[in-house]
Structure 1
Amino acid sequence: MTATPPQPDSPSTPRVRRRAATTVRDALALIGLPLVAALALPAAFAGGGTRRWFGGRAESQRAEAQAAKDAAAAAFYELDTAQRDLRISVETIAAVDDSPAARRAAADFEALGHRIDEASHQYINAVDAHDLDRDDLEASAAARARTELARAQDELGRVKRDLDRFADGLGPLLGKAETQLARLAPAVERARRSLLAASNALDAVRGSGLRADDLAARLAALAPELTKLNQGAGRHGVPRTLERAERVAREAEAIRAEAERLPERAAEIDRRLVSLRTRAQALTTRAGQVEPVLSELRRRFTAACWQDLQPVPAQAAESVRQAERKLAEAQAARRDQRWPDATALLSTARALLNSTDEAVSAAGDRLRRLNAVQKDPRQEIERTRFALRDAQRLAMAGRHTPDPRHARPLDDSVNRLERAIATLEGRHPDYWHFLTETEAVRRTVAHVVARIREERGAGAH
């Protein structure tokens, strides 16, 4: 019996099979048919009972060749599936990461793609070269088919293993990319919510009668950024879109918070205006009391004790006048709701009043200290000597002789104190010089003590 020849347009003809094999990957993508099933279609369309089978060695070789064909088809399908899955990962990395490592991964994947194409062509050519359904298939032809199909399967397997190793190496890059992608949508949504909250806070402030022109300008400046966020990461890239979303959210949140604090800020400015005006009035009264203090200093002490205080009354009056002018400007800024200007002017007025307070207080403090030392200088002397003795004991602790770096300034301080005490002798002692000298001695002693403790602390470690 002879085999019935295939019809010209039958799917089992070699010409049709070759055309189907060369487009197998596109066919799989279009209809979603598994490769093994696709490759089995020609045999199915051949129809049952149309082929006459021959026994013996030829049929054995045919069966082995068919098994090799099925195994190669499965390897081809696995490789194709792995490549498709991995392409998604590589494209994900490329969309998020522009680092050298990411660019190198894309280039490596492209090189693997060329190897996959070569292995796939080798497989398809092996399938097209041998019609295992022929009734008159010889054993030698079946053996060649089995060998070529097995070789194609081996090459597909090698490329698949290389692809798997490449996929394993993508882990860190892919994890980083997926993390950024996971952050993207929430970050953009957070930015939008923050902008809406800032806009609502501004509306509420304006509804209370307060202006917030500077905040409104800052919010308007974010409009182009919102437009870019709405255009999406596909146009601007994931990293830049993520950074923009986070920056917009921070700025919008800051605007919202400042808008909500604005009523409290206005009330605080009002309170500071009242407080500083009251303080300026009190300093004007106190400045008027400096002249009597200076008169007593001039009458009872030498010129060196009070000459540096002579300009205080005039300087105090001028500083108070300057502070009052700044307060008037701050009031105008508050009325115009120029909040930053009002705050800055209040700070300037406060600094002027602080310096005036110190100058006015200095005159009364000078008289008090001079009265005390004139009455009994021994308290000041003993206070300074005690500091010196304490420093000397510390310098000698654990030593037979003190370190010259410590001993020399302490010895100089002892001599300086003795000279200061000597200035108290005579008909008109310079008490202020005495007080400034004892203060200088105590500062020097404190510096030596601090250095000794620092050096010993460093040595202990």
Structure 2
Amino acid sequence: MTATHAQPHARARAGGVRDVLTLMLLPVPLIAAALPGAFAGGGTRRWFGGRGENQRADAQAAKDAAAAAFYELDTAQRDLRISIETITAVDSSPGARRVVDEFARLGSRIDEASSGYINAVDAHDLDRDDLEPSVASTARTELTRAKDELVRVKGELDRFERGLGPLLDKAETQLARLAPAVERARQTLLAASNALDAVRGSGLRADDLAARLATLGPELTKLNQGAGQHGVAETLQRADRVLRDAEAVRAEAERLPERAAEIDRRLVSLRTRAQALTTRAGSVEPVLSELRRRFSAACWQDLQPVPGQAETSVHQAEEKLKEAAKARDEQRWPDATALLSTVRALLNSTDEAVSAAGDRLRRLNAVSKDPQQEIDRTRFAVRDAQRLAMAGRNTPDPRHARPLDDAVARLDRAVAGLEGRHPDWWHFLTETDAVRNTAARVVGEIRDERGAGA
């Protein structure tokens, strides 16, 4: 219980009224005689003099001091209650709940101290004319005791308030974020709506974006209902979510015309590429005929399916292009994008297969005319790796020496395999490629190790 005590007390006011009425009923001479200083030769009555008057003054001073202490405690409690409400509006953690419990305990202490002060004030009318010195002394003692208790409780309240610093700072920070966060969410939602209207005005439906924006409507309603209904933390989270989702809709809406134009460009480009691949695929069969005529079966057998695979892949790509064009006309943008990606993958694989046949023939022609160039190129790569492995060492690290020795032996076997009437030139080329890859891997490991050691 927090109480305020109006002064002077009602009984004091009642006593004053009785005195005035008594004077009004006296005969005029008696009234004049009762007034201090009414006659020059007459004496004045002292209501309470000497030591008793000092005790009355001491009691009144104690009463004033107690009243001041009571007012300070009451003000501090009111201010602290605002801080507690600020914390509980934001924080539901165990620490915040402990703060609420402690504040309730302090409230009981405040009620007890306040009751003691009010009882002490009610028990003594310091304005009475017949106040006895002993009564004034008792009043001063009780009022001083009440004041001391109020001061002690105020000290507990101050210590409790100082401990609230971290929780209160966190709560005030979140409350300071609340209004700006909600306003940003509203403005971003409005911007998303305006961007969507502009896109639709250009002839694009953007149905998926409209559906996503519609789901934010209930969230905006809850934002408008405020933190009082949904809590500060939940409202902040909702504002951030609305802001993020609305910003995504706005950005996609603004990009949609460019996205539509990009899909149109890709449709044209992939159609042209498919047509070109159809023409190139027709050249694979003559290449295979020459490979079959001039080289052993091992050099061209894996390329036999290429013409049929190219024809099938190009046909599939053309069908997917038709589906993509339909999706674009129906403004199903994700479907159109996915279909175009499929077309691109089909054409890439077909391009690689068609190119592989021509590349195979060129490489086999070159190596069959001059195998020494391929041999020298591969030996140089191995020797370069060996020099690096020996740099700064008397003996190479076995982890590097062993794969390099194996690579040399592999190259020697590949060279020896060229003897005979119909050498397998493709096997020779794959072996030299493998040897160079081994040398490059060892070089990379050596450099990595030395770089880490530095």
Give the structure-2-normalised TM-score. Answer: 0.90
- Per the alignment, residue 98 of structure 2 pairs with 104
Distance in 2, matches of 1:419 and 1:408, equals 17
5 Å-filtered alignment, 1:203-218, equals 203-218=197-212
SS for the counterpart of 2:7 is helix
SS for the counterpart of 2:395 is coil
- Per the alignment, residue 148 of structure 2 pairs with 154
Deviations 1:110-164 (A, max 9, x none): 1111111111112112212222222232333222222222222122112112211
Distance in 1, matches of 2:57 and 2:78, equals 32
Partner AA of 1:69 in structure 2: K
- Per the alignment, residue 254 of structure 1 pairs with 248
Deviations 1:247-282 (A, max 9, x none): 112111211221222222111111111110000000
Within the candidate set 25, 30, 52, 1:58 is matched to 52
Distance in 2, matches of 1:125 and 1:454, equals 88
Distance in 2, matches of 1:397 and 1:71, equals 94
Distance in 1, matches of 2:182 and 2:175, equals 11
1:39 matched to 2:7? The reply is yes
1:201 matched to 2:169? The reply is no
- Per the alignment, residue 315 of structure 1 pairs with 309
Partner AA of 1:129 in structure 2: A
Q: Which has the larger radius of gyration?
A: 2
Cα distance, 1:344 vs. partner? 0.8
Distance in 2, matches of 1:92 and 1:162, equals 20
Distance in 1, matches of 2:100 and 2:440, equals 68
5 Å-filtered alignment, 1:65-76, equals 65-76=59-70
- Per the alignment, residue 429 of structure 1 pairs with 423
5 Å-filtered alignment, 1:342-381, equals 342-381=336-375
SS for the counterpart of 1:39 is coil
Distance in 2, matches of 1:297 and 1:43, equals 127
Cα distance, 1:222 vs. partner? 1.2
How much is the aligned-residue C-alpha RMSD, in angstroms? 2.0
- Per the alignment, residue 168 of structure 2 pairs with 174
Name the CA shift for 1:325/1:285 in 2 (closer, same or farther; >3 Å): same
Distance in 2, matches of 1:395 and 1:139, equals 112
Within the candidate set 321, 324, 346, 1:327 is matched to 321
Q: Mean alpha-carbon deviation: is it higher for 423-432 or for 358-367? A: 423-432
Name the CA shift for 1:382/1:143 in 2 (closer, same or farther; >3 Å): farther
Within the candidate set 285, 298, 323, 1:291 is matched to 285
* Residues 187, 242 of structure 1: 8 Å contact kept: yes
Within the candidate set 192, 195, 198, 2:186 is matched to 192
Distance in 2, matches of 1:446 and 1:107, equals 72
Distance in 1, matches of 2:46 and 2:84, equals 51
Cα distance, 1:44 vs. partner? 8.2
Partner AA of 1:443 in structure 2: N
Distance in 1, matches of 2:96 and 2:425, equals 79
Distance in 1, matches of 2:377 and 2:106, equals 87
1:231 matched to 2:215? The reply is no
Deviations 1:343-364 (A, max 9, x none): 1111110110011011111111
Distance in 1, matches of 2:215 and 2:190, equals 14
Distance in 1, matches of 2:124 and 2:284, equals 119
1:121 matched to 2:115? The reply is yes
Cα distance, 1:42 vs. partner? 5.7
- Per the alignment, residue 272 of structure 1 pairs with 266
Q: Mean alpha-carbon deviation: is it higher for 171-180 or for 392-401? A: 392-401
Within the candidate set 89, 101, 126, 1:132 is matched to 126
Distance in 1, matches of 2:204 and 2:56, equals 93
* Residues 12, 128 of structure 2: 8 Å contact kept: no
- Per the alignment, residue 39 of structure 2 pairs with none
* Residues 43, 133 of structure 1: 8 Å contact kept: no
Within the candidate set 72, 79, 90, 1:85 is matched to 79
Cα distance, 1:289 vs. partner? 0.4
Give the structure-1-normalised TM-score. Answer: 0.88
Partner AA of 1:399 in structure 2: R
Partner AA of 1:265 in structure 2: R
- Equivalent pairs counted in the alignment come to 428
1:439 matched to 2:433? The reply is yes
Partner AA of 1:39 in structure 2: Q
Distance in 2, matches of 1:190 and 1:281, equals 51
Distance in 2, matches of 1:112 and 1:377, equals 98
Cα distance, 1:52 vs. partner? 5.3
Distance in 2, matches of 1:337 and 1:94, equals 50
* Residues 12, 127 of structure 2: 8 Å contact kept: no
Deviations 1:159-206 (A, max 9, x none): 112211221221221111111111111221222222222222222222
* Residues 39, 73 of structure 1: 8 Å contact kept: no
1:219 matched to 2:213? The reply is yes
Distance in 1, matches of 2:373 and 2:168, equals 78
Distance in 1, matches of 2:218 and 2:399, equals 66
Cα distance, 1:47 vs. partner? 5.1
Distance in 2, matches of 1:319 and 1:52, equals 125
* Residues 76, 156 of structure 1: 8 Å contact kept: yes
Q: Mean alpha-carbon deviation: is it higher for 378-387 or for 40-49? A: 40-49
Name the CA shift for 1:298/1:74 in 2 (closer, same or farther; >3 Å): same
- Per the alignment, residue 407 of structure 1 pairs with 401
